[in-house]
Structure 1
Amino acid sequence: MDIPTFLRDNNLLSPLFFLSTTIFILFLVKRTKILVFKSIENLPPGPPQFPLIGNLLQVGDKPHVSMANFAKKYGPLISLRLGKQLVVVASSLEAAMGILKTQDRFLSSRSIPAAFQQKPLLPHSLIWSDCNQTWKNLRTLCRTELFSAKSLESQSILREEKVRQLLDFLYRNQGQVIDIEDVVFTTLLNTLSCIIFGKDMAQFADHGCGSTRDGLKESLHQVIEYGGRVKDVGSFYPMLERFDLHGLTRATKKVFDKVFACWEVVIEERRVVVGSTTWSSDHQALTFLDRMLENGFSNEQIYQLVMELFVAGTNTTTSTIIWVMTELIRHKEVMSKIEQEIQKHIISDQIPISQLSQLTYLQACIKETFRLHPPVPLLLPHLAVETCNVMNYTIPKNTKIFVNVWAMGRDPTLWDDPCRYNPERFTDLKLDYKGQDFELLPFGSGRRMCPGLPSGIKSVEYILASLIHEFDWGVPNGDDPSKLDVNEKFGIAMKRENPLKLIFKQKCYKDC
């Protein structure tokens, strides 16, 4: 029998894995005298399990697809055993509401991937910490200073400047084949770094230039890659977690330390300024770093929060833009409608952010892309803090919980012709992605809903509108654009399996 891809890719069949498994088995024999899982009454149904490994071999390297297939056979709420870890997966509107709304209070903790288990930093985490007062304070600070309507308005000039730099780079490279993901990622990273630190931290250039700024971009890519490796022995057998058998925690810490060393210089420079006698309480903070320093943040608190803002603010937003571009390249008639909409409403050379609200068909395309290609197909994992009931099934304490929004986006009971890319379904259907309409939950819902939604959507709309307004896009080598692949790569965000390489030329509206 072939070895599943995720086992090969993550070295689960290495001698170290077999050694750790042997230790684990002996430990079970000594402590419990049994080698089977203790049954729990009234769990959600699920596929048959193998001794010790449970359903690990059945999940594969695209768990959102496997779990969607399980749901078709066993129902909208299923249970699995991944090693020793009990997992419950919701794949319907009713099941999602039960987890994210009805029982949100009891199911709102986090199951933390191995890569992000940096013990000294976790108490300062916005994404992974429990719903305690520190977490509430962090969310309030970010909503007020970064994601509020007032903050987004104040960031408009900066966002327009960064997109202008993106367009200037593309003007200089017309006729070349580009990896659109890289230039979008760079734009988002620089937008965030200017908001937080007041300076660019990446550049549009080859990765081989060796500069410090490119080093940050590469480091973030590494963190994202490590965070997406969910098939870790310690995740399945918690008693082995401390040994970090795949080295993910150590590898991520090494990258963190490298990045933090660069940030420390910037932080200390601003700490001196903010702490000086000339800095009064009514002095307007120039950056988000200033605001954190005013609130007495330690370096460790700043490191953790900024790293999470960078990872979340670049990764999923880039992924969404790339998937929209993929579908627009595949569907020329949809691209044409967006172009006509932009020409109708935009008369200036560069699109003002204030006019994005007029581009309703573009917004429909983004919603349709969220439906078919949600950036986090299983959302971030929840953890039950108390035993509770969902759909008359028992969800025991410490159960890991996923909501399969990818499966919900393909549910024929919710959507007509669900596998067809059809933005028109959203021109009449008044559904939104802000957590109230459970048919469409790319950012989740409830107390763990992504607080950066307003900023992320603003970036998606503005970058897409600008790219479409300025350039005609196509695939290299005269290939048929309608045949462009939509193969997925599962990770901390769902990306294309193959990079999106495109050719482009400047549009001619008047004189060229």
Structure 2
Amino acid sequence: MAETTPMQVVAYTFLCVLVATILLKLKHRRSAGGLNLPPGPWALPVIGHMHHLVGALPHQAMQRLAQLHGPVMLLRLGHVPTLVISSPEAAREVMKVHDAVFANRPMYVAADVFTYGGADISFARGPHWKPLRKLCATELLSPRSVRSFRSVREEEAARLARSVAAAGGAVVNIGEMAKVMMNDVIMRVSVGDRCAQRAAYLEELDRVLDLMSGFNLTDLFPTSRLARALGGRALKATWEVHHRIHAIMEAMISDHKVAMESEGDNADAGGDQRGDILTILLRFQRNGGMGGGVTLTNANISGVLFDLFAAGSETTATTTTWAMSELMRNPHIMAKAQSEVRGVLQGKTVVTEADIDGRLPYLQMVIKETFRLHAPVPLLMPRLCNEPAKVMGYDVPAGTTVFVNVWAIGKGEESWTDASEFRPERFETDMVDYAGTDFRFIPGGAGRKMCPGMMFGVSNIEIALASLLYHFDWKIPGGGNPEKLDMTEAYGVTARRKTELLLEAIPFVP
């Protein structure tokens, strides 16, 4: 009998793998009961398609897979069926046509802990979701409320400019300064100026964002005892942070209640004058809740404030930093934006919203273009398919997790001319807004689960950028080439810069 050569062994192994793969696919199709499931890449036993995401950021890896398998793609992450949407048309079906079917969110382990089991707005389900959402839209972050926080934004933007000026021409960390400003804005509008626990809360919030930036093994293998055991250490750390942040929040709530009682709740007599968000929430709690028989618990209040801090400060700081990065890489765009700001302010010593409101259309285009290329939450918040549905003709089984890759949609050549280029001028004729009605541009999502604080965030970004562009000229340290500025993204809850944005600021004297 002839001796088997190494080449024959390799060929035989490959044939076995090929046959096994075909049999697995046939089994999958039979088990699907004749459903027309979306296409996807080849999977491995147990881990599914997770190996396709190794070595890249999830939204980037999913974009590359979608280019091969289509804008409606079905993956299996561990044991969890996962639908990835990468086109405006498919996003419209998920977030508008079948919005009610995809209205809930999968409850990941860390999110479950930090949101008190979905007592907040982002992960809420059940009877309190609609009243909470309505309360946020009509009271907490309504256009009137956003306007009422104007003085806070102006003061913090002025403080940002003073911090840069205090560096005396030395290199400044734009990302860190933007983060400080946005945290201070959120802290002041949420719990007021008098907050002894401010530093402790923000320190714990950083730990929260780190813990929420990945999956616990239980999220990927929800029925596995081994996964629960292996994920126990991370879950223990999550609970430890939660207990500390809960204690801080309870102290804030208690302090506010005492102040409201001692002051007679002067905010009630202020007519249109608004208090901080915590005071408003406590007033609703005291007066009987949110209507419809739904009470407002301390867990709801803590959850809403958690949403504001976790989402509001991180996304706005990230977008501000990316906008400055793109302006540095494109000096002609920087010059045009600065010329607009300085022409409008004309020698003013500080930037106020009364001076810039509606008068900086080019800067607004810069902000939109930054959102398009650098969506702060690239995959948005995940959704959950509540019942069997169809998306672009494909069957989506109940229980499927859904990611809408807005990062990929923003870079789609079929939707945007020269999609990879930073060109704010495209929005002169392409009149998209933040309402979530044009599914080529949905940085805050769309439908009933879209971000309720989008306009509040944009207002924070606009005055921060206006202040930085008005008061300073900017250059790369050491005379570096702006075109070679590192634009690599980091892994996390938001798509931040991987490297710090370090710039030299030259004071501009009007």
Q: CA deviation at 1:402?
A: 0.6
Q: Determine the C-alpha separation between the residues in 2 that align with 1:129 and 1:298.
A: 13
Residue 460 of structure 2 corresponds to 459
Distance 1:148 1:479 in 2: 44
Q: Call closer, same or farther: CA 1:346–1:281 in 2, change over 3 Å.
A: closer
Q: Which residue of 1 aligns with 2:290?
A: none
1:223 is aligned to 208
Question: How far apart are 1:120 and its partner, in Å?
Answer: 7.9
Aligned residue in 2 for 1:343: 342
Which of 119, 125, 129 is equivalent to 2:120?
125
Q: CA–CA distance in 1 between the matches of 2:96 and 2:243?
A: 38
Deviations 1:437-495 (A, max 9, x none): 11111111001100010100100111111111111122222211221011111321111
Relative distance call for 1:43 and 1:484 in structure 2 (3 A) is same
In 1, distance between residues paired with 2:205 and 2:489? 20
Q: Secondary structure at the match of 1:374?
A: coil
* Partner residue, 2:398: 397
Partners of 1:164 and 1:326 in 2: CA distance: 21
Tell me which residue corresponds to 1:255.
Answer: 241
Contact 1:186 1:217 (8 Å CA) reproduced: no
Output the amino acid matched with 2:123.
W
Q: 1:152: Cα distance to partner? A: 1.5
SS in 2 for 1:394: strand
Equivalent in the alignment of 1:87: 82
d(CA) in 1 for partners of 2:408, 2:267: 50
CA contact (8 A) 1:116 1:252 kept: no
Identity of aligned residues (%): 33
Distance change (3 Å), C-alpha of 1:398 and 1:137:
same
SS in 2 for 1:505: strand
Aligned to 1:23: none
1:352 maps to what in 2?
352
Contact conserved, 2:66 with 2:86, CA < 8 A, in 1? yes
Mapped to 2, the partners of 1:245 and 1:331 lie a distance apart of 45
Residue 233 of structure 1 corresponds to which residue in structure 2?
A: 217
CA distance in 2, matches of 1:120, 1:430: 36
1:264-297 deviations in whole A, cap 9, x for unaligned?
3332122134356944894346322221112224
Query: 1:72 maps to what in 2?
Result: 67
Cα 1:413–1:120 change in 2 (3 A) is closer
> Relative to 1, partners in 2 of residues 1:136 and 1:333: Cα closer, same or farther, differing over 3 Å?
same
* Residues 236 and 189 of structure 1, relative CA distance in 2, 3 Å threshold: same
Number of positions where the alignment pairs a residue of Structure 1 with one of Structure 2? 465
Inter-partner Cα distance in structure 1 for 2:365 and 2:114: 42
Q: Which amino acid aligns with 2:306?
A: M
Q: Do the aligned residues in 1 keep the contact of 2:114 with 2:242 (CA within 8 Å)?
A: no
Whether 2:330 is the aligned partner of 1:331: answer yes
Cα deviation digits, residues 213-255 of structure 1 (max 9, x gap) = 433332222111111113x321211114654716333323322
Distance 1:112 1:478, change over 3 A: farther
Moved more, 345-354 or 368-377: 345-354
Does residue 447 in structure 1 map to residue 448 in structure 2? yes
Distance 1:472 1:246, change over 3 A: farther
Measured against aligned partners, the alpha-carbon deviations of 1:126-172 in whole angstroms (never above 9, x if no partner) come to 11122x33111112222223321211121111211111122122221
**In structure 2, do the counterparts of structure 1 residues 333 and 281 end up closer, same or farther at CA, with 3 Å as the change threshold?**
closer
Amino acid at match of 1:110: R
CA, structure 1 residues 280+506, in 2 after alignment: closer, same or farther (shift >3 Å)? Answer: closer
Evaluate the alpha carbon distance shift between residue 283 and residue 250 of structure 1 in structure 2; reply closer, same or farther with a 3 A threshold: farther
Partner amino acid, structure 2, of 1:233? L
Unaligned 5+ runs, structure 2: 1-26, 286-295
For 2:162 and 2:267, how far apart are their aligned partners in 1?
Answer: 39
Deviation at 1:194, TM superposition (A): 1.3
Question: For 2:231, which of 245, 254, 267 is the aligned residue?
Answer: 245
2-side partners of 1:83 and 1:37: how far apart? Answer: 20
How far 1:177 moved relative to its partner? Answer: 1.9
Deviates more, 1:251-260 or 1:93-102: 251-260
* Mapping of residues 152-231 of structure 1, within 5 Å: 152-199=146-193, 213-230=198-215
Code of the residue aligned with 1:218 in structure 2: it is E
Shift of the alpha carbon at 1:370?
1.1
- Residues 249 and 143 of structure 1: CA distance in aligned 2, closer, same or farther (over 3 Å): farther
Cα distance in structure 1, aligned partners of 2:28 and 2:94: 31
Is structure 2 residue 264 aligned with structure 1 residue 295?
Answer: no
C-alpha distance in 2 between matches for 1:183 and 1:282: 35
Give the secondary-structure state (helix, strand or coil) at the position aligned to 2:459.
helix
Q: Distance in 1 between matches of 2:471 and 2:312?
A: 24
Task: Spell out, residue by residue over 1:168-223, the C-alpha distance to the aligned partner (whole angstroms, 9 max, x if none).
Answer: 22221122222211211111111111112112669xxxxxxxxx643333222211
Match of 2:313? 314
- TM-score under structure 2 length normalisation: 0.86
**Which 5+ residue runs of structure 1 have no aligned equivalent?**
1-33, 203-211
User: Quick check: 1:387 aligned with 2:373?
Assistant: no
Post-superposition shift, 1:124?
A: 1.3
Per the alignment, do residues 279 and 499 of structure 1 end up closer, same or farther by CA in structure 2, a change over 3 Å counting?
closer
Tell me the SS of whatever aligns to 1:502.
strand
In 1: Cα distance, 2:256 partner to 2:435 partner = 35
Corresponding residue SS for 2:357? helix
Aligned to 2:143: 149
Distance 1:175 1:149 in 2: 38
Q: Is the 8 A contact 1:224 1:315 kept in 2?
A: no
CA contact (8 A) 2:37 2:396 kept: yes
The correspondence for 1:283, drawn from 269, 274, 284, is 269
Tell me what 1:416 maps to. 417
Query: SS of 2:75's equivalent?
Result: strand
The answer to whether the Cα contact below 8 Å between 1:433 and 1:440 also exists between their aligned partners in 2 is yes
CA distance in 1, matches of 2:473, 2:232: 45
Query: CA 1:97–1:35 in 2, change beyond 3 Å: closer, same or farther?
Result: closer
**Per the alignment, do residues 66 and 200 of structure 1 end up closer, same or farther by CA in structure 2, a change over 3 Å counting?**
farther
Give the letter aligned to residue 229 of structure 1. Answer: G
Contact 1:488 1:497 (8 Å CA) reproduced: yes
Equivalent residue in structure 1 for 2:93, among 95, 98, 101: 98
Seen in structure 2, the aligned counterparts of structure 1 residues 328 and 121 have a Cα distance that, compared at 3 Å, is same
Per the TM alignment, residue 37 of structure 1 is displaced from its structure 2 partner at its CA by 10
Q: Retained in 1: the 8 A contact 2:267–2:275?
A: no
| Secondary structure at the counterpart of residue 235 of structure 1 | helix
Report the 3-state secondary structure (helix = DSSP H, G, I; strand = E; otherwise coil) of the residue aligned with 1:283.
helix
Question: What SS is found at the alignment partner of 1:473?
Answer: strand
CA spacing shift, 1:501–1:404, aligned 2, 3 Å: same
2:36 alignment counterpart: 42
Larger Rg: 2
CA distance in 1, matches of 2:75, 2:94: 16
